[in-house]
Amino acid sequence: MIGLEDRQDLVRNIEIAHTAGARLDKACEVVGIDVRTLQRWSAYSGERDRRIR
């Protein structure tokens, strides 16, 4: 399981790569996640880790 801070770092780094011209699907592939996972992480980036109750 990946922690909230690590997910936020990955989202930020993928966004930087995408802004620099990388294809979003390829940037996600490099870090081992699906584009849909990135979308979910981006939507909840400011919230606490929803997996912990």
Could you report the per-residue pLDDT of 22-47, keeping only the tens digit for each?
A: 999 999 999 999 999 999 998 876 66
Rounded CA-CA distance 23/25 in Å is 6
**pLDDT given at position 47:** 60
* Residue of 44 and 15 predicted with greater confidence: 15
> Does the pLDDT of residue 49 top 60, yes or no?
no
Rounded CA-CA distance 14/47 in Å is 19
Output the average pLDDT for the chain. Answer: 87
Residue entry with tokens 């011209």: 21
Rounded CA-CA distance 41/45 in Å is 6
Average pLDDT over residues 4-32: 95
**pLDDT given at position 1:** 77
CA distances from 50 to 23, 25, 30, 33, 46 (A): 28, 25, 25, 18, 11
